[in-house]
Amino acid sequence: MDDSQRHLWENMGMEWECNCRRLEGKVAIVAGASRGIGEVTASRLAAEGAAVVVAAPERERDAIDAVVASIRDHGGDAAGAVFDGADDASFAALCDLTINQYGGLDIFHANFADQSLLADDTNILDAAQDILDRTLDVNLKGMARATRHALPHLLARGGGAMIYSSSAAATMGQTVRPFYSMSKAGIGALVRHVANRWGPENIRANAILPGYVMTPAMQVSVPEEMAAQFQRETPSGRLGRCEDIAAMVAMLGSSDGEWINGQTISVDGGLTMR
């Protein structure tokens, strides 16, 4: 277990394991769980009692195994799996693995995007067509693929939660990254469709829009002066932590979130106000 995982469990998970077990008996998939927000979310859901399938692309297999081992070391129940956001069959296989392992599915957290494209997602005039195609294929179409395969299993359980990771970029109107922003804004339409069509069958669909969250990758890649600027733009006075997003996922997946449906929820310290 590395230092970040030790910090997570010592300062978050074990306390919740004792005092906040809202997800006992639930089964969750976190698609995009090998690091950052997804890793912390998978650990939080496990700490609250859920059996968690930790999923990420095949190239991140070692990281998947490390997250699973960390959860199990602290008494949680987890299994590892792989998926590809651009491959429909991989979502079918991910859901099938979950059903075979745990017998059902209650929560699907779709927490994936192709972040490698951001540097080339410059502006609408200069960014290449292949950047547009790949961004929409993974970040937006991937969410539709995940929904189409997860939803029947949620319905089979009598209801459940689809929880999507969007972004503050969906509403901010930034001068760069138009394709990324488009892909994230489109998730809102999917959320409202699923919530409206299947809400009467106890399906909840919501999206979380994080602001500036200082994941380990952000801490390495964002210059100090840029991080300071991000903090100045955030009214709450600090930058986000992975735990901030994980807490919202846990709430939305629990009975505490039963009357929240069809929403795009900003968790950004007041960066956006709507």
What residues are labeled active site? 180
How many residues are present in the chain?
A: 274
Q: Which two tokens stand for residue 198?
A: 């299947």
Cα 230 vs. chain centroid, distance in angstroms?
22
Q: Which two tokens stand for residue 102?
A: 């745990």
d(CA 57, CA 62): 11
Of 166, 147, 254, the C-alpha closest to 208 is 166
Q: Does the CA dihedral 88-92-97-99 come out positive or negative?
A: positive
Q: How many CB atoms lie within 10 A of CB 23?
A: 24
d(CA 139, CA 136): 5
- Contact (CB, 8 A) for 31 and 94: yes
Contacts of 24 (CB under 8 A, 6+ apart): 48, 49, 50
